[in-house]
Amino acid sequence: MAKVSFIGLGIMGTGMVGNLVKAGHDVTVWNRTAAKLKEIEKIGAKTVSDPADLLKDADFFMYCLADDAAIKDVITGGHNLAAKVKPGTIAIDLSTIDPQTSDEERVIYEKNRVAFLDAPVFGTKGEARDGGLWIVIGGDETVFNKSLSVLKPISETTHYMGKSGNGAKMKLVGNLLVASQIVSIGEALSLAKNAGLDLRKVLEVAAVADFKTPIYAGVGAGVIKGDYEVNFPLKLMLKDARLIQAFAKRFNSPVTIASTTEELAKEGVDAGLGELNASAIVKVISKRAGVDLVE
């Protein structure tokens, strides 16, 4: 059993904490919105009202925060927790952020003799709840191996990607693939509808043919019911589309899908859809196509 300090009771962090507690770890949590702390106490986590209180005697300091701004507010600036963690602790950032921000974290932790892993996750609300995430990790391999006791309870698989920052990079590469599938299923269903095809039959084909993916199946099933219940909010997809472009620009590597995704996601967020699921990109596409995809 390890002493785990955790920050971030969002869609993902809440599920992660549940599985760390279930695995028998001694978990203490802080969240910016204090109301969420009451709920997490019910499942056996301890809570603190001041994040500095998390850092006294943790073996692992884990966090899953919204974006780079949150990391800057809590970890590298603002509360500045990276500079306050006690030496010997292992810090693990599970958020999706710019690899450059991840590198800034590493530098501060190194100065403080704290080991650091960038460990963003694939999967969404259900996988977080069920301990079935797919985690991509950068950092020292010995530290990665020492951290398996806290990574395994929240994941189906862990993928050691190499040096620090490689987890953050892999996450953006993977989210480019996710974005491309959401945009393509939106365009394909809109075209099919305009062309008079039965969308249930279209999805039957998409479920078995050599282009099938769980995203086509999941997003497709949702949009024909008009179900955009949030797992991965559209506002975070917009953030990721921007991160992918900034990241790719450093290598002059084309990511046309990310710029298309940004344009569509921004239109959705501006229309008030930001708290809906990222599949609301399909809503934006179908509106442009002049079709209603609900069957």
Catalytic residue IDs: 171
Nearer CB in complex with ligand NAP: 75/264: 75
* Parallel, antiparallel or unpaired: strands 133-138 and 121-122: antiparallel
In the complex with ligand NAP, the residue whose CB is nearer, 17 or 192, is: 17
199 neighbors 241 (Cβ within 8 angstroms): no
The nearest distance, CB 240 to ligand NAP, in angstroms, is: 6
Instruction: For the CB of residue 136, give the shortest distance to ligand NAP in the complex, in Å.
Output: 11
Choosing from 19, 47, 89, 95, the residue that interacts with ligand NAP (CB under 6 A) is 95
How many whole angstroms from its chain centre is CA 279? 15
* E strand spans, 121-229: 121-122, 133-138, 155-162
The 10 Å CB-count burial string (b at 16+, else e) for 240-278 is: bbbbbbebbeeeeeebebbebbbebbbbbbeeebbebbb
Q: Which residues pair with 198 in a beta bridge?
A: none
Q: Would you say 17 or 199 has its CB closer to ligand NAP?
A: 17
Per CB under 6 A, 261 contacts ligand NAP: no
Q: Which of 36, 84, 129, 287 binds ligand NAP (CB under 6 A)?
A: 36
Q: How far is the CB of 289 from ligand NAP (least distance, A)?
A: 26
What's the closest the beta carbon of residue 97 comes to ligand NAP, in angstroms?
6
All residues at 6 or more sequence positions from 77 whose CB lies less than 8 Å from its CB, including other chains? none
Residue 154 has φ and ψ, to the nearest 5°, of: -105, 0
Q: Site residues (CB under 6 A) for ligand NAP?
A: 8-13, 31-33, 36, 64-67, 69-70, 73-74, 95-96, 121, 124-125, 231-232, 236
